[in-house]
């Protein structure tokens, strides 16, 4: 009995949600402030509150959020910023585009940056640590913050995948000097297009971020520093405002799905091993599997769509591999084993059981 289990389903099928979002769009059509309309500030206030930060600045994408955060902190040529080896390439690109050098640390078995590796990579040129809360699970932040204090470094969180996640009851985005979110349609808290957000507690950074997101201008005319246009659309802000009310329910549903997988897949593949300190939002449910590529092909033949996020480590990308500095032995091992299986909130219990049964069948058939 075969079925199709898509990795994602971005259609808006829930009638109530659809009407809600259409009403939000209609409001923007009515007031006509398509750029920097009132919804932008409303959203910024709510997101800041949600993350327990003083300020939030809406931007055009998670990539912009990272780039503008690093610009706001004035990093550039000669500075080294330590980040992880396993992330979406936007993380390294944002560092490199400021002129600074990304240095790539290894990861632990939970796929997040290894604080011990960070410690080994710190030099006199190191200015900041940029941890990524990968798959929606928060990094070992107490240890990372301790390292940063000890070496007088800033911490910028790439929380693109982790909106709503918690560690020891602290929200993603509440640890670093600045934190960055993506609200692109694949993310757990998603717009209907590109969007991102930067949060901080510092008024001077808040001011700089506001200038930098609009060509480095103050009062829209006086340019204090060259930059590009990275403002969030009013329409996306309006949609996100409505979706913010639902985000806890979406996360709860993802938890439920993850817990089903946890028990159905135990002993068959490595599951994301949740710790009691973690409230993971499961941006992806990433398993670690023997014969990963064969498993992926087999699942494909069963109608189960999977993804490898991400198949090429950042330090091994053609854009970065030459003269790269870092250490990534464990990442190289794990990147051959990771597989993201469908875990979005629209899936039903039968879908999850079907996917788990296919995985069981693969390892049984091919013993």
Ligand X SMILES: *Cc1c(COP(=O)(O)O)cnc(C)c1O
| Residues 6+ away with beta carbon under 8 Å from 339 | 286, 287, 288, 289, 292, 295, 296, 306, 307, 308
Q: Which of 83, 98, 182, 234 binds ligand X (CB under 6 A)?
A: 182
Q: Judged by CB under 6 A, does residue 196 bind ligand X?
A: yes
Q: Judged by CB under 6 A, does residue 39 bind ligand X?
A: no
Q: Judged by CB under 6 A, does residue 286 bind ligand X?
A: no
Give least dist CB 94 to ligand X, A. 8
Q: Judged by CB under 6 A, does residue 83 bind ligand X?
A: no
Q: Please check whether residue 121 is in contact with residue 327, taking contact to mean a CB–CB distance below 8 angstroms.
A: yes
How many other CB atoms are found less than 10 A from the CB of residue 332? 15
Nearest partner of 127 among 108, 107, 99, judged by Cα: 99
Q: Please check whether residue 82 is in contact with residue 327, taking contact to mean a CB–CB distance below 8 angstroms.
A: no
SS3 100: coil
Report the DSSP pairing between strands 101-105 and 80-84. parallel
Q: Which residue's CB is nearer to ligand X, number 161 or number 295? A: 161
Q: Judged by CB under 6 A, does residue 160 bind ligand X?
A: yes
Q: Judged by CB under 6 A, does residue 164 bind ligand X?
A: no
Q: What are phi and psi of 59, to 5 degrees?
A: -135, 180
| Stretch of residues binding ligand X (CB under 6 A), selected from 84-92, 136-144, 214-222, 263-271 | 84-92
Q: What are phi and psi of 298, to 5 degrees?
A: -65, -45
Q: Which of 50, 55, 75, 88 binds ligand X (CB under 6 A)?
A: 88
Distant-in-sequence contacts of 249-253, Cβ < 8 A, 24+ apart: 250/188, 250/189, 250/345, 251/164, 251/188, 251/281, 253/345
Q: Judged by CB under 6 A, does residue 84 bind ligand X?
A: no
Q: Which residue's CB is nearer to ligand X, number 161 or number 234? A: 161
Give least dist CB 298 to ligand X, A. 27
Q: Please check whether residue 181 is in contact with residue 133, taking contact to mean a CB–CB distance below 8 angstroms.
A: no
| Stretch of residues binding ligand X (CB under 6 A), selected from 30-38, 74-82, 88-96, 146-154 | 88-96
Q: Which of 79, 80, 157, 158 binds ligand X (CB under 6 A)?
A: 158
Q: Which residue's CB is nearer to ligand X, number 103 or number 111? A: 111
> Which residues lie across from 287 on neighbouring strands?
339
Q: Which residue's CB is nearer to ligand X, number 132 or number 179? A: 132
Q: Judged by CB under 6 A, does residue 138 bind ligand X?
A: no
Q: Which of 83, 85, 87, 135 binds ligand X (CB under 6 A)?
A: 87
Q: Judged by CB under 6 A, does residue 115 bind ligand X?
A: no
Whether the CA torsion 321, 323, 324, 326 is positive or negative: it is positive
Give least dist CB 60 to ligand X, A. 8
* Total residues at interface with ligand X (CB under 6 A): 15
Report the DSSP pairing between strands 101-105 and 196-200. unpaired
Q: Judged by CB under 6 A, does residue 184 bind ligand X?
A: yes
Structure tokens at 84: 């992880």
Q: Which residues bind ligand X (CB under 6 A)?
A: 61-63, 87-88, 90-91, 132, 158, 160-161, 182, 184, 194, 196
């Amino acid at each position: 009995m075969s079925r199709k289990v898509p990795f994602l389903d971005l259609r808006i099928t829930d009638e109530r949600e659809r009407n809600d979002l259409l009403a939000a769009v209609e409001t923007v059509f009515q007031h006509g402030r398509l750029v920097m309309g009132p919804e932008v500030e409303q959203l910024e206030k709510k997101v800041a509150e949600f993350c327990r930060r003083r300020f939030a600045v809406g931007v055009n994408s998670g990539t912009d959020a990272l780039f503008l955060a690093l610009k706001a902190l004035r990093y550039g040529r000669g500075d080294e910023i330590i980040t992880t080896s396993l992330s979406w390439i936007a993380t390294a690109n944002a560092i490199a585009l400021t002129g600074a050098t990304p240095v790539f640390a290894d990861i632990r078995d939970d796929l997040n940056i290894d604080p011990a590796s960070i410690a080994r990579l710190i030099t006199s040129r190191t200015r900041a640590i940029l941890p990524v809360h990968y798959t929606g699970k928060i990094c070992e932040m107490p240890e990372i913050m301790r390292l940063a204090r000890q070496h007088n470094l800033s911490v910028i969180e790439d929380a693109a995948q982790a909106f709503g996640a918690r560690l020891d009851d602290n929200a993603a985005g509440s640890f670093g000097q600045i934190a960055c979110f993506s609200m692109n349609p694949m993310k757990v808290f998603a717009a209907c297009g590109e969007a991102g957000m930067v949060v901080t507690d510092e008024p001077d950074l808040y001011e700089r971020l506001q200038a930098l997101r609009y060509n480095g201008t103050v009062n829209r005319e006086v340019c204090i520093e060259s930059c590009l246009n990275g403002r969030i659309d009013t329409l996306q802000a309006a949609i996100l405002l409505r979706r913010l009310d639902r985000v806890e329910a979406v996360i709860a549903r993802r938890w439920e799905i993850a817990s089903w997988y946890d028990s159905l897949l135990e002993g068959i593949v490595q599951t994301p091993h949740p710790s009691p300190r973690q409230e993971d939002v499961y941006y992806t449910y990433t398993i670690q599997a023997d014969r990963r590529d064969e498993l992926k092909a087999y699942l494909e033949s069963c109608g189960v769509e999977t993804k490898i996020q991400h198949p090429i480590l950042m330090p091994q990308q053609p854009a970065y591999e030459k003269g790269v500095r870092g250490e990534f032995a464990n990442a190289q091992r794990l990147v051959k084993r990771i597989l993201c299986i469908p875990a979005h909130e629209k899936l039903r219990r039968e879908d999850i059981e079907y996917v788990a049964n296919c995985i069981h069948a693969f390892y049984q058939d091919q013993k």
